Amino acid sequence: MFRDNNAARFASVKKILLDGKSDAVLLTSLRNVRYLSGFTGSQAFIFLARKRSFFVTDGRYETQAGSEVRHIPVMIESRSRIDAITSLAERCSARTLAVEYGDVNMEMFNALRKRGLRMKPLDIPVERFRMIKDDAEISAITKAVRIAEKAFLKIKPMIRPGTREVDIALALEHEIRMLGSAKLPFDTIVASGARAALPHACPTSRKLRKGDTVILDWGAEWNGYFSDMTRTFILGGTGGEKRRVYDIVLEARDMAVNSVRPGIQMKDIDKAARERITDAGFGKYFGHGTGHGVGLEVHEGPRVSMMGTGAAEPGMVFTIEPGIYLPGKGGVRIEDMVIVTQTGAKVITRLPRDPDIL
């Protein structure tokens, strides 16, 4: 049974967010609302004040909020959101309100300011807390990984010459849903032949051919948490340049995984993979970051790239996904998910990394 730790998260995050610089905090990002409350609906916000806090949604979700939100008083909006926030600020004697700048639009910002509230950005975004996963979150992510892997194994025989890309994608998505994934974290990628040089190619009616490289990138969901993985296959004959490129990407993946440890900078994990690809002469064909965090969003912090900031910490979950994309020829990407432990990286994706599927 899935057991979330929303109440404990809420208490610890509230204590840090109310840092003495603000009378109250307004959280409007639905991902952050879910993280702190457990609410899974599409309309809500949280108002944090020193002595009192409130979870606010509309009448459509009164029953749902009553069952999902146990540790924050639930209020039902009967007026506009601006009126509701202003009323709560007055109720809590709040004059300075910290908001999530990335989620509050200018219309709301200006409307609240006109009501007499002093607006400021939230100093520590909730996303920073979300980067460190607790046991319940890691369990949910791992379950999402297992669903994705089991679904792939069911459709694996379809990856052969003559099958259309779109048929593979549809079959894989069907199996993911049938295994309990309530949603897909992103549109499944199936790219074959020269199209495998497109990192985010949409599946087409193109039929797989002997000699193709085929990239599959897919994921699943469990209790709001996502998985993300990629495998590349060579259809018939794994020698020559295609196998050489594959082996370079696999070595880059291994070097990045082996570099992970508490304290290492994100850009240095990226460097471990990028140097191997660059030294092999393919540096200009690796145009994206080595990885990204995965959790309530399929792309979240930390950012594992040349521009990534911060260091790895125990409890972080992110992808390692180096790639080489050769225009007109094809591409290779290998993506696994890792958890940062006290001593290194634990790889939670289990599918073999073998390009020869036939």
The domain 135-347 having CATH identifier 3.90.230.10: the answer here is yes
CATH architecture label of 6-126: 3-Layer(aba) Sandwich (3.40)
Identify the pLDDT of residue 301.
Answer: 96
Q: Which long-range contacts (CB under 8 A, 24 or more apart) does 145-148 make?
A: 145/220, 145/227, 145/229, 145/337, 145/348, 145/349, 145/350, 147/176, 147/179, 147/180, 147/181, 147/220, 147/221, 147/222, 147/227, 148/176, 148/181, 148/218, 148/219, 148/220, 148/227, 148/229
Identify the pLDDT of residue 104.
Answer: 85
pLDDT band at 316 (very low <50, low <70, confident <90, very high): very high
Q: Are strands 96-99 and 24-27 parallel, antiparallel or unpaired?
A: parallel
The string of pLDDT tens digits covering residues 9-66 is 898 899 888 877 789 999 999 999 999 999 999 999 999 998 899 999 999 999 999 9
The string of pLDDT tens digits covering residues 64-96 is 999 999 999 999 998 899 999 999 999 999 999
Q: Which H or E run contains 346?
A: strand 345-347
Contact (Cβ atoms closer than 8 angstroms) between residue 162 and residue 328: no
pLDDT band at 292 (very low <50, low <70, confident <90, very high): very high
- Confidence (pTM): 0.94
Helix, coil or strand: residue 337: strand
Domain assignments of the chain as residue spans, ordered by start: 6-126, 135-347
Average pLDDT on 209-216 reads 95
The string of pLDDT tens digits covering residues 323-347 is 999 999 999 999 999 999 999 999 9
Alpha helix ranges (H) inside the chain? 6-17, 30-37, 62-68, 81-91, 106-114, 126-130, 135-155, 165-178, 240-259, 266-279
Q: Which two tokens stand for residue 258?
A: 């082996």
pLDDT band at 236 (very low <50, low <70, confident <90, very high): confident
Average pLDDT on 123-133 reads 94
